[in-house]
Structure 1
C-alpha cells in the first residue's frame, strides 16, 4: 500500500515538473503577456499585414484614456504627425495605434495617456517616448525602367503654413510589368479585364518624406480574377477610412490596414476603375460597366467604363446610370481627334500623334473591348469620375472620350453639358452650356464651337476642358443654382484636333461657374497653360478643392509623357507635379516634383489622418 501511494506521489511530482518544463520551453504562459518596452504593453509592427509603416502599442491589460500620439519629424525640419485617439479606437486595436512612421528609420514616438488598473479607480497619467524602427519600403518593380522603389519627391516650393501639415496619398501604376493584362473576358466579349496593372499606393508629407505605404502584394494577384485590377479611386470617407476599388471588387480599410470590407461587385457589373465616392447620404458611387448588355443589333457584349452605380452601406444596389441610354454612344468627333498613343493608361508610342479614322470606327470588324470606339461594348465614354451634387440629388460625370463634363439627374435626364457643341445631335443641343465672360457677355468659339479664345490666345482665357479628369462640384463655393465645378483639363484633342507640334500641347487646372437657370458657363480660374509641355499630362491627374485649407490641390500626374516616343524610348522621364494653391490664386502654396520613379501617376488625395483616430 505504501509502495502504491509512493508511486502516485512520484507520478504527480513528475507531472508537475513536466508542466513547469513545458512553460519554460514556450508553452502556455500562465498569467503573463509579452514583455513591454514601456509602461503598458508590447509593440506590434504592421498589425494587419498590409500597412508596414504602422504599429500598435498594446494596452498590457490596462484601461487607457485621454490618449495622444506624436510621431516626431525627422531632423530639424521634419513634419510631426500628431493626433488624439478615441477610447473606441483603443478598444478596436487593442492598444494605441501608431501611424506615420518613416521607413528604414528609428522613429521617436511620444505617447501621453491615462492608465487605469481594471477594477481600480486609481489612475496614472503617463508621458513616455518610444523608439520604433520601421522597415524599408519594398515594391514589385520592372527591374529595368525604375531607379528607385518609389518616385522621389523633390520640394520645389516649400509648403506655407496653410498646408504644411497636409498628407498626400499617391496612387501610381505600372503598365510595363510582364504579369499585367494577361486575361480578357469571354461569353460575352468586351469589357476591360485586361486593364490590370501593378499599383503603388503610399503617402508623403509636405517635405516629400514617405509616411505610409500600402503593401499591394497582399491585395493583387494577376492569376486570380477576383484579385486582378488596378487599385484606383481612393476616397477618404467621413469616418476617416479609405474606400477604393480594384477590378471586380471594391474595398474599405482603415489607415492601420484593418479590413472593414472587401466585396465583389454586384453580379450585373464588371470592371471597376477610376472612381469611388462616399456621398453625403452615406451611399457609395462606383464607375463600373455592364457584365452582359443586349445591343440594338442583337449582339451581347460587356460594356466599357460607361455605367455608374449607387450602393448602400451593405452593398445593395440602389440605382444605376446606364450612360449608353442617356447620352449618344455614337458621337465620334472627339474620339477621332484624340492622340491614339495615349488613351488613358493604354500607352502605345507607335501611335503617338496619330488619330483614328471614321472608317475605322464604323468598320464592322472593329473588336469589342477596351478600344477607343463608338457604341456599347467599346470605350466610347471613358468616364473617369462621378461626383454627387446634394443640391439637386444629381451626379456630375467626366467623360474623357467625349471631352465633356455632364450633369445627370436622379431620373436619368441630362441637366447640362459642359463641352464643345461640335458633334452633338439636335436632341442634345438644348443641354449645352453657353460660355460667357466675367461681364456676362457671350463668348464666341470658332470652328463649330471647338476653338475658343483660351485656345487661340497664348495668355489663356475661356476654353472647354479636353479629355479631362475629375470633374467635381465645389459645394462651399456654390450657391443654389450657381454651381462651381473644378476639373483637370488634360488637353488632348484640344480644339478638336492634334497640334502641328508636340511642343504646343498643355494641360490646365480649371474652375468654372455654371448658372443652371440661364444655362451659361463662366471660367473663373485656371493654371497650367503657362507651364507648357513640361507640365502637360496627356492622361490621368486631378484638380480638387480642399475645404479645410481653402486651397485647390492639383496633381499633374503624367507630366513628362507629352512626347510619347521619347518616353517609351526612355529618353524622357515622368516628372509629375503636385501643387496647392490658395483659393483663387495661381501662386503655389506648395510645389513638389516627383522624379526617378518612371511609373505612371494616377491621382493624389489629401488625407486627414486625424479623422481616422479621433
Structure 2
C-alpha cells in the first residue's frame, strides 16, 4: 500500500500529469508557478448596479426591489456562490503530494513549497521523510535573535509536512532539527511582497522589551480599494505574515487554530460581504458560509455554530439583524431583529451620525458572554453597547445616553452611571468582556453628545479604550479605567479601531481610524511598545503563530467546504 494511503487516492494518469507540470515549473523554493493568482471568484468592490446607469426598463415583476438593501440578482447570487476555490485548493494539494511521492526528499534535501494556496506569501511547507520515527523542532531565524520564531512539534513520525510561518519577504533561513540529533539549515526565498504590503512603512516609536506579550501583531490593514490585507508585524516592525484574497475585516482567532473573518466576496460596496470564512495562516480557506450582507460582527459558539451580524433579506435597513448559523449546514437556526428588541418612537440614528434610518443601529461587533446564552453588542449609530439574552430574545440592559426617540419602556433598560470619572461611549467599536467580567470597548468619541449644541469638533476631540463595570442587579455602570484621553487629538480615531486584552493590566490598543494609525501596548500603567503605520488599521490581534497552529500540516484530507445560501431580491421580498 502507498505511504499516502491515508490521503485521498490519486489516479496514476493524474499523478503523471501533475508531476510533469510541477517539474517543468521549476524549483518550489520560490512561489510555484502552478499556484493561481488572485482567485477569479473574488469579485471587485463595485456594486452590481451602477446608480447612474439604471437597467433598461425590464418588466415590473422582474425589476429588483430597490427599496430593499439586499437586491442580488440570480446571476450575481450565482457568481458569489461559486465554490471554484475548493477545486483550486484540492488541485494545489494534489500536486504537492504527487511531487512528494515521486521524489526522494530527506531532511538534507527537502521539498519546499512557498505560498501553496496563493494567499499567504510569507508561509511555506517543508516536506521530507526520515528512516526512523522522530519529532521535529523548527527555528525561523529573525533579523535579530529576539525575533526568532521557534516551535517543537508533538508528532513522532517518518513523514513530515512542516508548516513554516513567520518568514520575511525575500531571503530566509530556517533550521529544522530532529529528536535523533540531525539538523539542516534551509534557505527559503519568498520573493517580492504584494504591492499593498510593500508600500507600508511601520515606525516603532517605543521600543519593546521582555514585558511585551509574545507573538506577532496581526493588523487588518485597510486601503479602501481592496478592503484590506492582513499583515503581521514583529516587535521590530518587520512584516512576518500576510493573508490576502482570503480574509477581510474583523479577525477572530478561534480554538481550532484558524481565523474567522469576512468572506473575500463583496456583495456590495464598501463593506458588505457575502458570508464568513474560516482560514488558516497558510492561506487555506477551510469553510465558507454564505450569508447576505455580512458586516464585521461574528463569533463561533462552542457547539460549532456561528453568530453573525447580517442584513435581514428583503428589508431596507442594514446591520440590525443577528443570526445563528448551523455549523454543519450554514442555515439559520435562530435570529434576532433589533427593530423588535429596541423600542423607539422612530428608528433613526443618534444626531451625530448621518446614516439615519437605513443604518439606524450599525452593529459593528459582538461578544459571547461566558456561561450564558447571551451576547454583548456594539451599536455605533446609537452610541451604545447592550446585552441581549438570546434565549428570551430580549435586551437585558443598554449603556448609552438618553435620547428623545427612546420610549419610556425602553428607558427602563438604560444603565445609570455612577462614579466621578464617568463618560459615555460615542461611535464605539470592538466590544469585549475581560476575564474578570468587566467590559472593554473602544470609544471612538464621535461628537461626544447627542445634543447638537454640545457636540465636540474633531480638532478638540479624543478617542479612548475604556473598561466599565456593569451591575445588572442595580442597573448601574461605572467607568474603571481609560487610556487615550490624555493624548488628545494625536490618537483621535473617529472610525474603526479596537483593542486586545492580555490581562487586567495588559492591553494592546489600536487607534486605527486616522493616518498614521497608532498601535499601543500598555502594561501596568506604562506604554511598553508603540508602532505607527501609514494606513488605517481596522483591528489588531497578537498571536503566537505556532501555538495558534501547533501541529503538522494536513494535505489531501479536506479541500474545503461551502455552506449556507445567498438569497436574491425576489426570494427576500417582504412587501
Fold match, TM over 0.5? yes
Structure 1 residues 110, 31: closer, same or farther in 2, change over 3 A? closer
Structure 1 residues 260, 399: closer, same or farther in 2, change over 3 A? same
* Residue 194 (structure 1) aligns with: none
Deviation of residue 466 (structure 1)? 0.5
Residue 231 of structure 1 pairs with residue 212 of structure 2: no
Residue 425 of structure 1 pairs with residue 407 of structure 2: yes
Secondary structure (helix, strand or coil) at the match of 1:591 reads: strand
Structure 1 residues 281, 579: closer, same or farther in 2, change over 3 A? farther
* Residue 277 (structure 2) aligns with: 251
* Aligned residue among 318, 321, 335 for 2:336: 321
Secondary structure (helix, strand or coil) at the match of 1:325 reads: helix
Matches within 5 A, 1:62-73: 65-73=134-142
Deviation of residue 594 (structure 1)? 1.1
On the 8 A contact 1:41/1:61 being kept in 2, the answer is: no
Instruction: Work out the number of aligned pairs and report it.
Output: 444
Which whole-Å CA distance do the structure 2 matches of 1:466 and 1:373 have between them? 16
Matches within 5 A, 1:361-380: 372-374=355-357, 378-380=358-360
Residue 600 of structure 1 pairs with residue 548 of structure 2: no
* Aligned residue among 442, 445, 454 for 1:491: 445
- 1:565-609: CA deviations, max 9, x gaps? xxxxxxxxx111111222xx44212211113xxx43211122232
Matches within 5 A, 1:472-491: 472-474=432-434, 476-478=435-437, 484-491=438-445
Deviation of residue 388 (structure 1)? 0.7
- 1:528-564: CA deviations, max 9, x gaps? 11111110000000023224x96212101113xxxxx
Question: Tell me, which stretches of 5 or more residues in structure 2 are unaligned?
Answer: 1-18, 25-97, 264-272, 552-575
* Residue 515 (structure 1) aligns with: 471
Matches within 5 A, 1:83-232: 83-87=151-155, 95-104=161-170, 106-114=171-179, 124-139=180-195, 149-163=198-212, 165-175=214-224, 177=225, 197-216=226-245, 219=246, 231-232=248-249
On the 8 A contact 1:171/1:601 being kept in 2, the answer is: yes
Structure 1 residues 280, 63: closer, same or farther in 2, change over 3 A? farther
Residue 471 of structure 1 pairs with residue 471 of structure 2: no
* Residue 363 (structure 2) aligns with: 383
Residue 552 of structure 1 pairs with residue 507 of structure 2: yes
Secondary structure (helix, strand or coil) at the match of 1:271 reads: strand
- 1:233-289: CA deviations, max 9, x gaps? 211111211111130021112111222112312xxxx11111222234443221111
Residue 578 of structure 1 pairs with residue 519 of structure 2: yes
* Aligned residue among 387, 392, 400 for 1:407: 387
Secondary structure (helix, strand or coil) at the match of 1:234 reads: strand
Alpha-carbon RMSD: 2.9
Which whole-Å CA distance do the structure 2 matches of 1:87 and 1:49 have between them? 27
RCO comparison, higher one (Cα < 8 Å, 6+): 2
Deviation of residue 64 (structure 1)? 5.3
Which whole-Å CA distance do the structure 2 matches of 1:286 and 1:128 have between them? 46
Which whole-Å CA distance do the structure 1 matches of 2:157 and 2:283 have between them? 13
* Residue 53 (structure 1) aligns with: 122
* Residue 481 (structure 2) aligns with: 525
Which whole-Å CA distance do the structure 2 matches of 1:611 and 1:238 have between them? 8
Which whole-Å CA distance do the structure 2 matches of 1:330 and 1:31 have between them? 66
Which whole-Å CA distance do the structure 1 matches of 2:99 and 2:238 have between them? 44
Structure 1 residues 46, 63: closer, same or farther in 2, change over 3 A? farther
On the 8 A contact 2:349/2:360 being kept in 1, the answer is: no
* Residue 336 (structure 1) aligns with: 351
Rg (Cα) greater in structure: 1
Structure 1 residues 509, 535: closer, same or farther in 2, change over 3 A? same
Deviation of residue 526 (structure 1)? 0.2
On the 8 A contact 2:260/2:277 being kept in 1, the answer is: yes
* Residue 224 (structure 1) aligns with: none
Structure 1 residues 167, 47: closer, same or farther in 2, change over 3 A? same
Structure 1 residues 539, 30: closer, same or farther in 2, change over 3 A? closer
Structure 1 residues 151, 127: closer, same or farther in 2, change over 3 A? same
Deviation of residue 130 (structure 1)? 1.2
- 1:331-361: CA deviations, max 9, x gaps? 56753223x5xxxxxxxxxxxxxxxxxxxxx
Structure 1 residues 155, 164: closer, same or farther in 2, change over 3 A? farther
Secondary structure (helix, strand or coil) at the match of 1:533 reads: helix
Structure 1 residues 207, 331: closer, same or farther in 2, change over 3 A? farther
Deviation of residue 86 (structure 1)? 3.9
